[in-house]
Structure 1
Amino acid sequence: MSWLFGLNKGQPEAGGGDKPKDKWSNFDPTGLERAAQAAKELDKSRHAKEALDLARMQEQTVQLEHQSKMKEYEAAVEQLKGDQIRIQAEERRKTLNEETKQHQARAQYQDKLARQRYEDQMRQQQALNEENLRKQEESVQKQEAMRKATIEHEMELRHKNELLRIEAESKARARVERENADIIREQIRLKAAEHRQTVLESIKTAGAVFGEGFRAFVSDWDKVTATVAGLTLLAVGVYSARNATAVAGRYIEARLGKPSLVRETSRFTVGEAIKHPTVKRLKSKPQDALEGVVLSPSLEERVRDVAIATRNTRQNKGLYRNILMYGPPGTGKTLFAKKLAMHSGMDYAIMTGGDVAPMGRDGVTAMHKVFDWANTSRRGLLLFVDEADAFLRKRATEKISEDLRATLNAFLYRTGEQSNKFMLVLASNQPEQFDWAINDRIDEIVNFALPGPEERERLVRLYFDKYVLEPATGGRQRMKLAQFDYGKKCSEIAKRTEGMSGREISKLGVAWQAAAYSSEDGVLTEAMIDARVDDAVKQHLQKMDWLHREDEERLKNHLLQSKVKGIKLVVWNKSHDKIPCQSL
C-alpha cells in the first residue's frame, strides 16, 4: 500500500550517480490526503460494514491458513521425530540381531571346540585302553607261556624220575629173581600139584552128584513128563513172543515210525515224541498258505485257490487232487508245499527222487512202506516228491534199470486212484521226461516261473529285513548297518538281479550278513552290499552259460542220434522258459 501513502514516489533509479537521500525526504503527504479521502468515502458508503467484515474474514482466513500451516509443520516435525525414533529402533534391533548372531556363532564355536576336545580325549582314552589291553594280553600270553613251559619241565622231570624208578625196580626185581630162582621154581611146582589135585577132586565130586541125580530123574517118569512139557511150553512161548514182537514192531513202525525214503516230515514220530512230547503239536497250527512265499499276482491267486480247495477237501473228507509243480530251481515249490500242508491242517512228508534209484531191489518194498505209512495218517498227508523226474521217467527208454522200473510200477499201482488219506505233489525241472502214466495221475499243473521285477523287489526287501535289519536292530549279534536309503538300494538290487531265482536272492541276503560278520568293525556298508551283488550276478551269468552249453551239447547229441525227420524238439533257454526249435 505504498502507493496509498505516496512512498517510493519519485525515487531515483538504483545505480545513479547521486548520493541517496534520507527516507523521509521523499515522503509525499498527498498520499495521506488520498487515504483520508478514501476513508471518508468508505464511511459514507453503504457497504462499509460489509467491507470491514469481509476484511476481517479475510484476516481470519489468513490466520486460519497460517495456523493450519503451523499444525502441518508441527505434524511434519512430529512425523520426523517418529521416523527418527523408528530408525533408531530399527538400528537397535539390527544391532541386537548382530550381537545375537555373534553370541550364537561364539557359542557354536565353543561347543565345537568342546566336542573336538571331548572326541580327542575319547580317542586318547580309547588308544590308552587298547594299549593297556594289548599289554595285558601280552602279559597273559607270557604268563601262559611260562606256565606251559613250567608244566612241560615238570612233566619231563616226572617222566625221567618215573623211568629211573621203573628201571631201578626192574633191576632189583631181576636181581632178586636171579637170587631166588630155585625157591620160586619149587613154589610153582607145589602150586601146580595142588591145583591139579583140587581139579581132580572137583571132577569126581561133580560126576558122582550128576550120576546120582540122573539115575533118580530117569527112574521117576513123572519128573520126565513134567520136564518135557515145560520145555515144550517154553519153546512155544519163545516162538509166540518173537512173532508178536515182530508184528507189534511193524505196527508201531507203520503208525509212528518214518520210512527210509522220507527225508523230512511233520508227523509225530517215536524219536520226536521222546525228545519233544508236546512242542511238536503246539507248533503245527494252520497257517497262511502264502506266508513268506513271494509269487506273481496271477500265480498267487491260482495257488491260493488250490490251498483253499485242499483245506475244504480235508474238512469235508473228500478226495485229494494230485498236483504237479514245475519250473526252474529255487522258485518256491518246496516252500509252498510245506505251507499248503500247514494251511490245510495236514501232515507233510518230503522225499526226493534221487533216493529211489540207489535202493535197487529194496525200492519196491520201501515205496509200499511209504504209502502204507501215508494211509495211517489221521490228519491226511501231503506227500511231496522233489526231483520226481529222477525215477518217474519214461519206462520205454533204455536208461532206466529193471529195479527202477519195478519201483515205478509200484508207485503207479499205489497212486492209481485218488485217495482221501494222502495228497500227491510232484516237483520237477524237466516234466517232459515223466512217464505218460504219471501225467495221467496229475489233476492240476502249476508253473512256478522266475520272479518278475516286483516280485524280486519284494524278495530283496524280505531277505534284507530278515538277514540284515533284524540282526542289526536286535542288539544281540555283532552287526551294524551304515546309514543310507535302504528302500532305494533294494529297488536298485531288484533291477540288477534280473533272471535270478528266489533261492539265489535269499543266498544274497546271507552273503550280506556274512560280509558284515567278516568286517573288522561289524558294519555293513553300501559298498559291501554292491560288491556282494556284483559277485552274485557274475556267478549267475556263469551258471547260465554252463546250462546253455549243456543244453547245446544235449541238443547236438539228440540231433546226431535222431534219424527220423519231422521230430519237434523242445529245449530250455537261459531264462528257463521252454522254446520250440525248428523241425528237423
Structure 2
Amino acid sequence: MSWLFGMGGGGQGPPQIPVPPPGGDNKGSSEPPKNLTKSEMESYRFDSAALERAANAAKELEKSKNAKEALELSKLQEQTKQLETQTKSKEMEAYIEEMKLQAVKVQEEERRKTMSKEAELHQQKAKYQDQLARRRYDDQLTQQTRLQEENLRKQEESVAKQEQMRKATLEHEFELRKKNEQARIEAEMKARGKMERENIDLIKEQIKLKAQEKRETILESIKTAGSVLGAGFQAFISDRDKVAATAFGITMAAVGIYAAKHGTGVTARYVEARLGTPSLVRETSRLTVGEVIKHPIKTVKRIVNKPEDALKGIILKPELEERLRDIAIATRHTKKNKGFYRNLLMYGPPGTGKTMFAKSLAQHSGMDYAIMTGGDVAPMGKEGVTAMHKVFDWSKASRRGVLLFVDEADAFLRKRSKELISEDMRATLNAFLYRTGEQSNKFMLVLASNQPEQFDWAINDRIDEMVEFGVPTLDERERLVRLYFDQFVLKPSMEDKRLKLAEFDYSAKCSEIARLTEGLSGREISKLGVAWQATAYASEEGVLTEQMINDRVNDAIRQHKKKDMWQHEQAVKEELELGAAYTSEKDMAADLTAPQTKPGSDPSQRPSQHS
C-alpha cells in the first residue's frame, strides 16, 4: 500500500500497469493481441486482481482513523527525500568546486613545471653558450699558440740558417788560413834547409868548439874542488877540537829527531785519549773541549743538574723495574766509593728499553756513557785491534768513569771458530777480552744482545749480572700507550694550533689500544704516537679523529705480524741450513774414520760410508 502515498520500494512511483488495447473486454485475464514481440508479450501479461486489491486497500485506508497520520508521514518522507536531494546537490556543487580547485592546482603545477623547464633550458642554454665561449677562447689560445710556435720555428730556422752561414764562412776562412800557414811553413823549411846545407861545415865547427870548452871547464872544476876538499879535510883531521864538536853536533841532531818523532806520537795519543772521541764510539755524554766551546749552556746545566730517577720515562714490569732500580743504586754508590763496577748483560727482543736504561743508568750514577755498536767492528778489519785499545784507553782517561754500552754485542763477540768469524775479528775479540779480563773502577761494561747464546764462553765469564727485557704485558702496554698519547697528542694539541683532537673517550681508547697491541714492543708503541701526530699534521684540518687512530693501530698490527712471519721463515731457513751443515760434517767425519781398502779388494766387503 505504500506506493499509493509515494513510499514505493526504493522511492519509485507506482508500478506501471499496461493498458489493454481498445476493443477488448475488461476482464482479469484477456488474450494478448497477435503480432507482439516476446518482451511486449511479457509486459502485456499482468494480474488484474492486484488492481482490485489495491482499490480495496485504498478504500479501507480512507475509512481508517490513521489515514491523516499516514498522509503526514508520507509528506515527511517526501520532505526528507527533498532534503537529501538538496544535500546531494550541495555535495555535488562542493565536489564541482573542489574539482575546479584541483584543476587550478594542476594548472599551477603545470605552470611551475613549465617555468622550471624554461629555467633549466635557460641554464643549459647559458652553460652551452659559456662552453661555446670557452671553446672559442681555447681555440683562440690554440691558434695564438700555433702562430707563436710557427713564428718561433721560423725564427729558429732563420737563426739556424744564419749560424750555418757563419760556420761555413768561418770554415772557409780557417781553410784559407790553414793553406796560407802551410805554404809559409813549407817556404820557411825550404829556406832553412837550404841555409843549413850551405852552412853545414860552419855548424860542425861550432859544435866541436863548444864541446871542447865544456870538457875543459869540467876538468878544471874537478881539479879545483879536489884540491879545496883535500886541503879542508886535512885541516879538519889535524884539528881534534873540530872533530869532537862535529861528532857531538851530529849525535845531538839524531837524538833530537828521534825524540821529536816519538814525542809527537805520544802527545798525539795523549790528546786523542783525553780530548778526542774514538771512531768506534757512536754517541757519548763525555764532554770535550769542542763541546764545551760550542754548547756552554748545556755544559753548565749538566754540571748543575742533579741526577734523576734511573727509570724516569721507562715503563717495564714491576719486578724488572725494582731490580733495575737496585742496580742503579748499587752503581751510584760504587761510583761514590770508587769501587769496582759489575759488568751487566741485558738481553731480550729489540725495542724493549735496553739502550734507554743504559743511558739513564749512566746519568743517574754520575758517569759518562759511551755507545758503540758491534756491527761497526767487522768493517775495520786489521785496524779493529787498535780501535778497540783506543776505546778502553779513552775510557780509563775519564775522571767521572764511563759506562761502555755495547749494542748488538753478538755481532763481534761470537764464538772464536774459523767458520763464524775472520782472523781480524778474532784478533779484535782477543783484544777486547784482554782489556776486560779484570774488574775495573774506571769503566762499567754493559752488553745488549738479542741472541746471547752466540757469545764466546770467555765473554760469559766476564758478565757479572744478567737481566732479561721482555715484551710488555697488558698493564705495561696501557701505561706506554697513555704515556705516548699524552706526549705526542695531548700536549701538542694544547700548545700547537695546527694539531687538534676530536672529542671521544681518550681513556677508553688507550685501554682498547693496549688490548689490541699484544706482542708489540715499547719502541713500536712509541712509533704509534709519532704516527698519530704525523697523521693529524697531514690532514687538511689538522684534527686527529678516532678513526685515524684506529687506522694507524691496525697498520702497526699488520706490520708486526708481517715481521714475525719473516722472522719465523728466517729461523726455519737457518735451522735447515744448520741441519744440512751438521749432516755434511758427520759424513766427512765418517769418511775420515772409515778404514782404507786395499786395491783389488771386494767392494761389497767395504764398510758403509754412513755407518
The TM-score bracket by the shorter chain reads 0.5 to 0.7
Match of 2:314 in 1: 293
Contact (CA 8 Å) 2:310, 2:361: kept in 1 or not? yes
Match of 2:564 in 1: 544
Residue correspondence of structure 1 range 338-487 to structure 2 within 5 A: 338-395=359-416, 398-475=419-496, 478-487=498-507
> Do structure 1's residue 263 and structure 2's residue 282 form an aligned pair?
yes
Structure 1 pair 445/213, CA: closer, same or farther in 2 (3 Å)?
same
Question: How well do the aligned residues superpose, as a CA RMSD in angstroms?
Answer: 4.8
2:405 aligns to what SS in structure 1?
strand
Structure 1 pair 238/274, CA: closer, same or farther in 2 (3 Å)?
farther
Amino acid at match of 1:377: S
Match of 2:547 in 1: 527
Alpha-carbon displacement from aligned partner over 1:416-470 (angstroms, at most 9, x marks no partner): 2211111111111112222222222221111111111221122222222332333
Match of 1:247 in 2: 266
Match of 1:189 in 2: none
> Do structure 1's residue 238 and structure 2's residue 263 form an aligned pair?
no
Once the two structures are TM-superposed, the CA of residue 362 in structure 1 deviates from its matched residue by 2.9
2:345 aligns to what SS in structure 1?
strand
Match of 1:491 in 2: 511
> Do structure 1's residue 322 and structure 2's residue 331 form an aligned pair?
no
Q: Provide the rounded CA distance (Å) in 2 between the counterparts of 1:212 and 1:490.
A: 103
Contact (CA 8 Å) 2:499, 2:536: kept in 1 or not? yes
Contact (CA 8 Å) 2:311, 2:325: kept in 1 or not? yes
1:360 aligns to what SS in structure 2?
helix
Residue correspondence of structure 1 range 81-96 to structure 2 within 5 A: none
Q: Provide the rounded CA distance (Å) in 2 between the counterparts of 1:168 and 1:472.
A: 77
2:281 aligns to what SS in structure 1?
coil
Match of 2:17 in 1: none
Alpha-carbon displacement from aligned partner over 1:514-551 (angstroms, at most 9, x marks no partner): 22232233332222221111111100011111222223
Structure 1 pair 215/345, CA: closer, same or farther in 2 (3 Å)?
farther
Structure 2 unaligned regions, length at least 5:
1-151, 192-216, 584-611
Amino acid at match of 2:259: S
Q: Provide the rounded CA distance (Å) in 1 between the counterparts of 2:267 and 2:581.
A: 55
Aligned positions, number = 412
Structure 1 pair 217/362, CA: closer, same or farther in 2 (3 Å)?
same
Residue correspondence of structure 1 range 5-404 to structure 2 within 5 A: 233-269=252-288, 271-273=290-292, 275-276=294-295, 279-280=298-299, 282-283=301-302, 285=305, 286-395=307-416, 398-404=419-425
Once the two structures are TM-superposed, the CA of residue 212 in structure 1 deviates from its matched residue by 9.5
Q: Provide the rounded CA distance (Å) in 2 between the counterparts of 1:281 and 1:244.
A: 35
1:384 aligns to what SS in structure 2?
strand
**Structure of larger gyration radius:** 2
Q: TM-score, normalised by structure 2?
A: 0.56
Q: Provide the rounded CA distance (Å) in 2 between the counterparts of 1:456 and 1:442.
A: 30
Alpha-carbon displacement from aligned partner over 1:102-148 (angstroms, at most 9, x marks no partner): xxxxxxxxxxxxxxxxxxxxxxxxxxxxxxxxxxxxxxxxxxxxxxx
Structure 1 unaligned regions, length at least 5:
1-148, 187-204, 564-584
Q: Provide the rounded CA distance (Å) in 2 between the counterparts of 1:562 and 1:264.
A: 41
Q: Provide the rounded CA distance (Å) in 2 between the counterparts of 1:343 and 1:175.
A: 90
Once the two structures are TM-superposed, the CA of residue 270 in structure 1 deviates from its matched residue by 5.1
Once the two structures are TM-superposed, the CA of residue 504 in structure 1 deviates from its matched residue by 0.7
Contact (CA 8 Å) 2:347, 2:469: kept in 1 or not? yes
Amino acid at match of 2:314: V
Amino acid at match of 1:442: I
Q: Provide the rounded CA distance (Å) in 2 between the counterparts of 1:254 and 1:168.
A: 73
Amino acid at match of 1:546: W
Structure 1 pair 418/208, CA: closer, same or farther in 2 (3 Å)?
same
